[in-house]
Amino acid sequence: MIAGLTAADIAEITGGALRADPGLAVPGPVVIDSRETAPGAIFAAMAGDHADGHRFVPGALADGAALALVTAEVEGPAVVVDDVPAAMAALARRSLEVLRERGEITVIAITGSQGKTSVKDMLAGVLGDQAPTVAPRGSFNNELGVPLTVLRADADTRYLVVEMGARGIGHIAYLCGIAPPDIGVVLNVGSAHLGEFGTPEITALAKGELVEAVGSGGVAVLNADDHRVAAMASRTAARVATFGFAGEDVRLTGEVTTDAAGHPHVLARVEGADRDLTVAQLGPHQVLNAAAALAAARAAGIATEAAVASLATAGPRSPMRMERHERADGVIVVNDAYNANPESMEAALRALAGLADTAHSVAVLGSMLELGERAREDHEAVGALAASLGIGRVIAVGDHAEDIARGAGAIAEVAATPADAIRTLDRSLRPGHVVLVKASRGERLERVADALLAADR
């Protein structure tokens, strides 16, 4: 956040009522979890589904917060606003405006139906090797996550990477109003949130709001292998850079291979020269994510050689995204339980197939949410894909477990709960087994991965 703000400044920017000494110094950061309170912080009290943040204001102030951002009167220094997320957005918008006025900062925004967090992590690694970089923690990609990310930037920040998700038309346009992008990256248009969007065409309409927000002096980085994304070139005034096997700026060529650890390799042609693109994340699908990160890094002014070198070491920074763990007994657990849709399920299963032979591969699969009318069909297809790839065993959990098992056939078994899945695995895992855990976030299937990795095992 910009330095030198006072409580009066916060009230003016957010349009709130000041309940503090106007000259009170508020150096930041902004937090929504009182456990993350730091000296001088603004504690934004959110009224959540499970707890009202206003209850934690006294504790946050006692732990050193300078100011509370609230919607109700509280004891202690505060700014009372009508809407806390909107106030955070206003504060982030103004903070970025001042940072741009005072120095050089490049904003790179990323969207897509899947792969956003992987590309964000890769790009943050590449850019961070060159200059101070701020990127989202985890998957902070909504009306709270974007302001929180922007507000971590300061006068030293050279690159600001933001991840943008959407649940409907207008969402990404709103986020771009908070963090207007210099570079906009669109990865793909898939099946994620079809229950909300309805059709891939409406999803594309929403995702394309990102490139519409990039000005004529910026760059729109588009996936040439996805026809809906490639068509977004007509929706932007920015220069267009494309990536993928059909890409012009970064073209992947030849066969994708993987090493013993599951890290993929491919040739990438940039400006007529081939480079060996090695990706420090699991699965063949990561080469396309790496191509996106390489194209975005080049658009930000990073030399190709430097970006390629960084990608070879830019492993996952966010939890539960193809996290590879090896137990003392030799069992490997791949925790990819943060989210799932048909495309990401396919990518994860193909990665598992490359990591272990039929006798040693186990896929623990939970439900994919927000698929709408295609839910049953898509879950059956995931099970069928696992069988066709030669996965040795599928343990299906959740509301659509029967659908997954129906598609997987003889290799499948149904666990009524994650606890049942854990007990089944405890009885059967042996050294050399590789276990993939994958489901939508609402299924909380990371409990299976966590149990398998518990210290007492």
Annotated binding residues, written as ranges, equal 112-118
Q: Are 270 and 304 in contact (CB under 8 A)?
A: yes
Three-state helix/strand/coil letters over the chain: CCCCCEHHHHHHHHCCEEECCCCCECCCCEECCHHHCCCCCEEECCECCCCEHHHHHHHHHHCCCCEEEECCCCCCCEEECCCHHHHHHHHHHHHHHHHHHHCCCEEEEEECCCCHHHHHHHHHHHHHCCCCEECCCCCCCCCCHHHHHHCCCCCCCCEEEEECCCCCCCHHHHHHHHCCCCEEEECCCCCCCHHHHCCHHHHHHHHCHHHHCCCCCCEEEEECCCHHHHHHHHHCCCEEEEEECCCCCEEEEEEEEECCCCCEEEEEEECCEEEEEECCCCCCCHHHHHHHHHHHHHHCCCCHHHHHHHHCCCCCCCCCCCEEEECCCCCEEEEECCCCCHHHHHHHHHHHHHHCCHHHEEEEECCCCCCHHHHHHHHHHHHHHHHHCCCCEEEEECCCHHHHHHHHHHHEEEECCHHHHHHHHHHHCCCCCEEEEECCHHHCCHHHHHHHCCCCC
Q: Are 184 and 213 in contact (CB under 8 A)?
A: yes
Binding annotation for ATP: 112-118
Six-digit token string for 49: 């589904």
- Our measurement of the distance from residue 28's CA atom to the centroid of its chain's CA atoms, rounded to an integer in Å, reads 24
Q: Strand 67-70 vs strand 42-44: parallel, antiparallel, or unpaired?
A: parallel
